[in-house]
Amino acid sequence: MKKGRKLSLVLISVLLLVGYGSAAAEVEIGSGDDVIWLNDNVVDKKLNAELQCDGEGANIDDYAILDSSSNRIYPTDSPDLSTNTTDLVYGPEETDEWVAPEPGKYFVKLECSSGSDEFESFHYDRLSVEISSPEDGSSVYTGTEKEVEVGLTSPADQLNYGRSSNGFRNFDYVKLMLNSDQIGQEEIQFASSTKVDVDVPKDAIQGTASLKAEVAYEESSQTPTTWTETTSNEVDIKDWKIETEYHPSQRLPSNRLSELNMTVKIMREGEPVKDLGPRHFFLEQGEESADTGDYEWFSGDFEGVTSDGRFAVYNLELQKMPKLQETKDYELDIRFKTGGDTDYDRKVGTVYVEKKFTFEGRVSDSDSRAIETAFRLQDDEYIEQFETNSRGFFSRRVMPGGFGMDVTFPRGGLVLNDVELSGDYSGNINYQYYEKPGDVEGIDLQGIDPINMMAVSFGYPFDSGSGSIQYNPAKTEDPMNVDLYECQRWNFWGEDCISGWDKVDEEDVTLPPTKWKAEFPVTPVETSEYGDEKQVLYSAYVIGTNSGLALDRLGLESYRVPSNEQFRVEGRAVTKGQPIENADVRIELLDGSQVVKSSSTTTDEEGVFSMDVETPEAGNYSLKAEISKGSYRPYSETLDSELEVYRQKSMSLDMPDSIEVGPGNTVEKIVTVENDGQTAFEDAALTVSESDLDISFSDSGFSVEPGEEKDITVSITVPEGFCDPSCVKYPTSDILLESDGFSEEFDLGVEIVEDSGAVSGSTENQQSDDSDQGTQNSPIPVTPAGQFLASQSSLNIALGLITVFSLALASAVKKKKGSEENDRGSRTINLQRPKVEPANSSDDEIDAVAENLDADGVDAVAEAMTEQDESQEDGEQESQDSEPQDDEDEEIEALAEAMKEEEENIESGASEESDEQTDEESTGQEADQEVTCDVCGESFDTESGMKLHKQAFH
């Protein structure tokens, strides 16, 4: 019962889960309403959204527009609905509750009775247009081209919500107006700013004018509506434009005023003014001339026009000194005047003459925050000390010249020699101290664990100097074992090292005990900022410790390799347990301390490296691996096991595929021994391993160097009787090549050819005379393989003849018995050739047997051989295995004795024929004494006949 209840609960749970999983809330914001622009000229500011709750019985419980803080915007109260779908429309024309929202991100929220919620986001935003250049109050010159930059911004950052497959909004153009005249237009798209080059009309009215920018915006591609936003700046329209460059400076001490020279460029209404001369320029102090006279203040002349043809260029040098009091500072205006119909009076510029130089500026960090700084200036006459104010500004009037200067920053400082303070140089000083330099991307100090860092920008020229930086000793295990790194060209505002980092020599870095401060020389860099090459400081300094490299894997495929070949080394480089990419890896083979072989590679992104190293000469070597990369602390490791390099031993033998030679012949062939190993052989030799032939070699105990070949003559002799009674076509001919622990066996590949003549390549001719051999040397016709007589030697044939002859004698004896033998019935004897195969036979023995046979015997032998061949063709396969020579000799002797005994019995029977009575009795006795073979059961009349039978067949 409980089991059924549990099953029901499980089914109910599954159904509930399925039911809830199928219910869903859907919010679909109208196409093109992902961004709603709030600008006044926008026609359509409403939001359209379709809301739906899916699932059986699911209705809308609540919906609302929420801001990014989940505050309810609309509707203010939860709607009372009993439906699963509705439209949400919110805009100024659809509801009295509409209030222009602040730009930002918003959400449409839908809650369903099934428990599912849905949120969909959209943005309200407002387009802003501004003219970023020229700024308010800037000068604009008639007849010239002016670049106007129009900036576009939006608080919700939806400015670049551009046209796409389902997007609709896009910018159209920016139009520029000067007062009521259009002076330029540029089409734009997806831009936060655009620059438009405009021509200022020559006849533009001089004075203040309104420069207006109008930006058109396409509201929707489905319902095209274009609205515009405008902005304007006030500019000063002028017909003259004058540019002046001062050398050596616009601000000079009175004792250097005589060095003043200027380059003046003059343009009016876009055209160069070329009709001026040195006499038109003069100095003026305030409203009164500093001095008057009939002579010219400046020397020089018109030099030509600029490359764009708009300016006339004049080079002027001050040739008359005004009368100035040494205790006062002056501002001297430089003007030019013309007379006649075109009476022009224009200011060229102002020169500041000071009795003392004002050393002033501001010390700030990269975020423009003030840095409290103390200065100490010292020259031959006095020492002056001062500090920056709370806003980082400093100002001190000093006599121009060179100073020793100490600059003390928070936790850092400079001591500079021969700092040039004069009107030629001015500017701010920047300083930044980094508590956590590892967070600065521009440092990029691979292999360095930075502790602290400082960056300094000092724009006054100096000769030499030193710096100091404090560091936190708690950030390193060994505070007195740290390194200093210098970036000579540091982008202060971009926080990036332009020149790269260099380690400062340890001998040049001082670490005073207990002060936790590093003192070091600073390196000024040359700059042409002031018109001539001067050395200033734009540097950064990091104090830290090296990150160490290591190997967490290093190994070889084998520690025993042949010389002059390659072996593989593999490993993995890490730093702090992490793989290090592009680290330099060098593998060295050492003989003691001497490097005999080396190879280099780099690690991949997983820190893994693999390389092939060539082995040296034979011997035992140490293998050392070195890893390095940039500022990382390098690492080296020597394997515990030595690498054993050995010289390979190998020789090969090149010889003919087949060497043909006949019995009684000798051939000589050339075989080539090649040392294809790496070891020289001093006492190499070729010997016969196993052979049925006579084989000898021309050389023994010869030497072969690596890569060398040695020709050896091999002599092969086949004995004269090698093929009697039979011939093996491919006799065993194995030779052995060996030397100094090397040994390898080869098959010489000799083929025996049964040819009475000399074999090609032989050095000894066959000595026997074919004419003397008679029929013995003639080939005997043979039946297929396995036939006994056709494959045996001449001795086997002789034995067969003897057997047949013996049987013939036995038959003759039986015929003498007359009717007695007929009464006994005929017997058929199954002839079987002796299973004898002597290795060598004597020609004399064969001849002796042949002489004892008459013509009838030969014919009988031939007839028996023919009958036996036919019986062998029917499938009988006789064994051709050779019997030992001694057994064969004994068998021959036994057969001879049996034949002699049988002949005696025949003669005795012939003498008894005259006596019939005796013959009858003898016949009766022979019948009574019939003998049977105890092996096969064959019956014989005489004991001698049975013995002959057993000798021949058993």
pLDDT tens-digit profile of 486-495? 999 999 988 8
Residue 941 has pLDDT above 90, yes or no: no
- Is the per-residue pLDDT at 777 higher than 70? no
In the predicted model, what is the mean pLDDT of residues 556-581?
A: 89
CB 129 within 8 A of CB 193: no
| Rounded mean pLDDT, 897-925 | 51
Indicate the average pLDDT of the chain.
Answer: 77
Sheet (strand 85-90) strand order:
24-29, 47-54, 85-90
Closest CA to 250 of 239, 238, 259: 259
Angle between helices 794-816 and 855-873 (to 10 degrees): 110
Give the model confidence (pLDDT) of 242-263 as tens digits: 999 999 888 887 777 888 999 9
**pLDDT on residue 76:** 86
- Give which of 673, 650, 657 is closest to 748, Cα–Cα: 657
Q: Sorting pLDDT into bands at 50, 70 and 90, what band is 906? A: low
Instruction: Report whether pLDDT(794) > 80.
Output: no
| DSSP letter assigned to residue 398 | E
Return the C-alpha torsion angle 49, 53, 59, 64, nearest 10.
Answer: -40
Whole-number pLDDT of residue 227 = 75
* SS3 assignment, position 422: coil
Q: CA–CA separation, 281 vs 334, rounded Å? A: 7
Residue 728 burial (CB count, 10 A): 10
> Between vectors from CA 675 to CA 673 and to CA 680, what angle results, nearest 5°?
125
- Taking 90 as the threshold, does the pLDDT of residue 405 lie above it? yes
Which residue shows structure tokens 């260029």?
Answer: 313
- Going 721 to 723 to 724 to 728, the CA torsion angle's sign is positive
Cβ contacts of 8 within 8 Å, gap of 6 or more: none
Q: Which residue is associated with the tokens 């290795």?
A: 839
Residues 733-747 as b or e (16 or more Cβ within 10 Å = b): bebebbbeebeeebe
Buried b vs exposed e over 271-288: b needs ≥16 C-beta within 10 Å?
ebbeebebebbbbbeeee
Which of 59, 66, 278 has the alpha carbon at shortest distance from 49? 66
User: Cα–Cα distance between 344 and 296 in angstroms, integer?
Assistant: 18
- For the segment 251-278, the average pLDDT, to the nearest whole number, is 88
**Strand-strand pairing, 271-272 and 261-268:** antiparallel
Residue range 617-641: mean pLDDT, rounded: 89
- What's at 440, amino acid-wise? V
The sign of the CA dihedral 54, 55, 61, 67 is negative
Please give the average per-residue pLDDT across 61-79, as a whole number.
91
21-30, 331-340, 719-728, 848-857: range with lowest mean pLDDT: 848-857
Look at residue 325 and tell me whether its pLDDT is greater than 50. Answer: yes
Contact yes or no for 94/117 (Cβ under 8 A): no
Q: What stretches of 718-830 adopt beta strand conformation (E)?
A: 733-739, 742-747, 750-752, 762-764
Specify the pLDDT at position 469.
Answer: 95
More confident residue, 383 or 189: 383
- What is the model's pLDDT at position 523? 86
In this prediction, what percent of the chain has a pLDDT beyond 90?
A: 26
On the CB side of 253, CA atoms within 13 Å amount to 17
pLDDT number for residue 415 = 96
Local confidence band at 804 (pLDDT 50, 70, 90 cut-offs): low
**168-177, 233-242, 318-327, 911-920: the lowest-pLDDT one:** 911-920
User: CA quadruple 233, 237, 241, 242: dihedral positive or negative?
Assistant: negative
Question: What pairs with residue 696 in β-bridges?
Answer: 715
Q: How many CB atoms lie within 10 A of CB 790?
A: 16
Lowest-pLDDT choice from 233-242, 419-428, 729-738 = 419-428
Rounded distance, CA 877 to CA 864, Å? 17
Query: Which residues have C-beta within 8 Å of that of residue 594, sequence separation ≥ 6?
Result: none
Q: Report CA Rg, the chain.
A: 62
Predicted structure pTM score: 0.36
| Helix, strand, coil percentages in the chain from 3-state DSSP, rounded to 5 | 15, 45, 40
**Given a cut of 80, is residue 39 above it in pLDDT?**
yes
- 779 φ/ψ angles, rounded to the nearest 5 degrees: -70, 140
Q: Which of 861, 844, 851 is nearest to 805 (CA)?
A: 861
- What pLDDT shows up at residue 103? 92
Q: Cα–Cα distance between 98 and 75 in angstroms, integer? A: 10
Q: Are 650 and 676 in contact (CB under 8 A)?
A: yes
Give the tokens for residue 556.
């070889």
Cβ distance 297 to 283 under 8 Å? yes
- pLDDT tens by residue, 89-141: 999 888 887 888 999 999 999 999 888 899 999 999 888 888 888 988 888 88
pLDDT at 929: 57
CA within 13 Å, CB half, 638: 10
74 neighbors 95 (Cβ within 8 angstroms): yes
- Other C-beta atoms lying within 10 Å of the C-beta of residue 635: 18
Is pLDDT at 836 greater than 60 in this prediction?
A: no
Is pLDDT larger for residue 861 or for residue 797? 797
**pLDDT in the model for residue 795:** 47
Tell how far CA 77 is from the center of its chain.
65
Of 88-92, 332-336, 660-664, 906-910, the one with minimum mean pLDDT is: 906-910
Tally of residues, the chain: 954
Tens digit of each residue's pLDDT (9 = 90 or more) over 756-769:
344 333 333 333 34
Q: 423 falls in which pLDDT band (50, 70, 90)?
A: low
Q: What are phi and psi of 799, to 5 degrees?
A: -60, -40
Tell me: the pLDDT tens digits for 806-830? 665 555 544 444 444 444 433 333 3
The Cβ-side half-sphere exposure at 615, using a 13 Å CA radius, reads 25
- The span from the CA of 728 to the CA of 882, in Å, is 13
- The answer to whether residue 465 scores a pLDDT higher than 50 is yes
Instruction: Decide which of 398 and 550 is more confident.
Output: 550
Between CA 468 and CA 408 the distance in angstroms is 9
The pLDDT of residue 169 is above 80 = no
Element housing 717 (H / E): strand 709-717
Output 195 or 829, whichever has higher pLDDT. 195
Q: What is the mean pLDDT of residues 347-351?
A: 91
Pairing type for strands 619-628 and 635-638 reads: antiparallel
Q: Residue 406 in 3-state DSSP? A: strand
pLDDT at position 476, please? 83
For the cut 90, the answer to whether the pLDDT of residue 742 exceeds it is no
How far apart, in Å, are the Cα atoms of 298 and each of 18, 49, 245, 335, 650? Answer: 98, 78, 15, 11, 99
Cβ–Cβ contacts within 10 Å for residue 418, how many?
A: 14
Q: Which amino acid is at 825?
A: G
Sorted by sequence, the CB contacts under 8 Å of residue 501 that are 6+ apart come out as 445, 448, 485, 486, 487, 542, 631
pLDDT value at residue 160: 62
Which residues lie closer than 8 Å to 857 by C-beta, 6 or more apart? Answer: 801, 804, 805, 808
**Confidence at residue 424, expressed as pLDDT on a 0 to 100 scale:** 67
Mean pLDDT of 151-175: 65
pLDDT at 432: 94
DSSP label at 117? E
DSSP secondary structure string for all residues of 482-533: -EEEEESBEETTTTEESS-EEEPPGGG-B--TTT-EEEEE---EEE-TTSS-
Strands 312-318 and 261-268 turn out to be antiparallel
Per-residue pLDDT, averaged over 768-796, amounts to 39
Q: How confident is the model at residue 283 (pLDDT cuts 50, 70, 90)?
A: confident
Does residue 675 sit in helix, strand or coil?
strand
DSSP SS3 for 937: coil
Q: In Å, what is the CA distance from 655 to each residue of 111, 168, 713, 937?
A: 97, 89, 10, 60
* Whether pLDDT at 604 is above 90: yes
Q: Report the 3 state secondary structure along 352-386.
A: EEECCEEEEEEEECCCCCECCCEEEEECCCCEEEE
CB 584 within 8 A of CB 600: yes
- Other beta carbons less than 10 A from residue 320's beta carbon: 15
pLDDT of residue 803: 60
The answer to whether 585 touches 608, Cβ cutoff 8 Å, is: no
Q: What is the pLDDT of residue 64?
A: 94
**pLDDT class of 662 with cuts at 50, 70, 90:** confident
H/E segment holding residue 918: helix 916-928
